Structure 1
Amino acid sequence: MTVVERTAPTPWHRHADGTLWTRHSPAEVEWTEDGMPLTGLSAPEREALTAHHEAGHAVVGAAHGRAPLYVSLDGEDGTPDDAGGFTAWRVDTLLTKTPWVQLAWILAAGERAADRWLRDSGLWTPARAWCMEWASSDDRDMASAAARRLRHPFDITWGVGDQPHDWSVICAQTDQHLNIRWNTVTTVAQILLDQRRIDADQLMSLTG
């Protein structure tokens, strides 16, 4: 298997509102009425991107004993959601009983799987990569909140060194977890595209 290095050198960039650090420069993109960045992808491409994002979370989670309850291409209430899919976790277990670095890998796996799918599909651009980081801000916020809840003596840093809590290090490690499970990620993503939802039992049969 060819391992492709997908991390980028520092410095990272801070969003204008000060709430988000990204590897890629903030892009000049159009925005939807509900505040989502437009990536210039077709509707099927956007759905495939979402499927790989959610599959990344699910497969890396299952590999570390934290398989989700289900994964869906629709919103949390089961209705079609163009803004993205939904992965349903056992939140109490995920956030309080998972070692922080494993939790960070699980949470980073969505954005890293999406980035890889864009590259593998010949659709990657810096603007789309920035959009994927922006769209994953909730996952990053969850990782930060978990570090505080678990009383870790650090804050997440963003591309400033090789500390284990720097998000660039987390992303590089997550890429390795995805590399060895990429065939499973693409299989789960395709099933999501075909049937829109995967429950825990089906996911475990795929991830072993």
Structure 2
Amino acid sequence: MTATAATITWNPPTTSLWYDLTVINGSTYHTRHRAPDSTPAGTYLDDLTDGERDTLRAVHEAAHAVAGLAAGSFIHHARIATTAALRDRTPDSKGLVVGGDVHGCNLADGRSFVIFMGAAERAEDRWLREAGLWTHTRALGVEIGAYTDRRHVLDINPHLGFDGGPTDYLVVHHLADQFLDEHWDAVLAVTDVLSSRLHLTGNEVAALAGIPNGTHSATCTQPTA
């Protein structure tokens, strides 16, 4: 699902705007915000309340779900765990604790795929700004939390990088920000309910977003309900 650069209008950076000071699973993880010398990795969001963390997590999954719906995908569900519950979770083999997910199918094109993946971290960043909670350190925490989403994009689009030019990873953020400008109210509507109920069916997400659920893929192994 490669996003074709020729279909995208943007002003790419001429040089790298990324920092390379963070390492995850033995590999450099590029970030738009510089890692602070005095703050331990993994604690960048710890000064938020549990409720704020729960909402941030709901924003993330809501953005995934609405991006899928807007692209015509069939959304099976969106769900999150509370911050309190996650404190007792054991990290997986990759050292990750998964706080939520969105399952969908029939996402057909590369541009929709990178928006689907990129919208979540950009939605978190936007929500922090609009809530008056944004700091460089918290923004870095959002970036770290997007590790798996970015990994999916880069695995399928190995031509994307962090050195500037038309294939800089910032193009993913650019497309995601454009999407959020158009669908922000829908993302917030889903966030509002998901943050309290923790689990929504795809049809419930669609009703909240005001976007019809898509067509279930004939090759999808998950049931429609």
How does the TM-score come out when normalised to structure 1? 0.78
Unaligned runs of 5+ in 1: 1-6, 148-153
SS of residue matched to 1:69: strand
| Mapped partners of 1:142, 1:172: distance in 2 | 17
User: In structure 2, do the counterparts of structure 1 residues 194 and 105 end up closer, same or farther at CA, with 3 Å as the change threshold?
Assistant: same
Matched residue SS, 1:184 = helix
Aligned-residue identity in percent: 28
Q: Is the 8 A contact 1:54 1:85 kept in 2?
A: no
SS in 2 for 1:110: helix
Aligned: 1:81 with 2:76: no
CA–CA separation in structure 2 for the residues paired with 1:173 and 1:159: 18
Residues 1:60 and 2:67 aligned together:
yes
Q: Could you say which structure has the higher helix fraction? A: 1
Identify, as 1 or 2, the structure richer in strand: 2
Partner secondary structure for residue 181 of structure 1? helix
User: After superposition, what is the alpha-carbon deviation per residue over 1:5-28, rounded to whole angstroms, capped at 9, x for unaligned?
Assistant: xx9994211134343111111134
- Once superposed, what is the RMSD of the aligned Cα atoms? 2.5
Residue 121 of structure 1 and its aligned partner are, at CA, apart by 0.4
Name the residue aligned to 1:19.
Answer: 28
Q: 1:173 to 1:90 in 2, by over 3 A?
A: closer
Pair 1:204-2:206 in alignment: yes
Mean Cα deviation higher: 174-183 or 117-126: 174-183
1:104 is matched with which residue?
114
Q: Secondary structure at the match of 2:28?
A: coil
In the TM superposition, 1:1-208 aligns within 5 A as 10-17=16-23, 18-27=27-36, 28-30=38-40, 37-74=44-81, 80-81=85-86, 85-90=99-104, 93-94=106-107, 98-147=108-157, 154-158=158-162, 160-161=164-165, 163=166, 165-207=167-209, 208=211
| Counterpart AA for 2:118 | A
Cα separation, 1, equivalents of 2:205 and 2:150: 24
Number of residue-to-residue matches in the alignment: 184
The answer to whether the 8 A contact 2:22-2:31 is kept is no
1:119-150 deviation digits (Å, cap 9, x = unpaired):
00000001110110011011000111223xxx
TM-superposition CA deviations, 1:166-187 (whole Å, max 9, x none): 2212211211111111111111
SS at 1:47's partner residue? helix
Q: TM-score, normalised by structure 2?
A: 0.73
- Report which stretch shifted further, 177-186 or 58-67: 58-67
Name structure 2 gaps, 5 residues minimum: 1-11, 88-96, 212-225
Cα distance change of structure 1 residues 72 and 63 upon mapping to structure 2, 3 Å threshold: same
Letter in 1 for 2:162: W
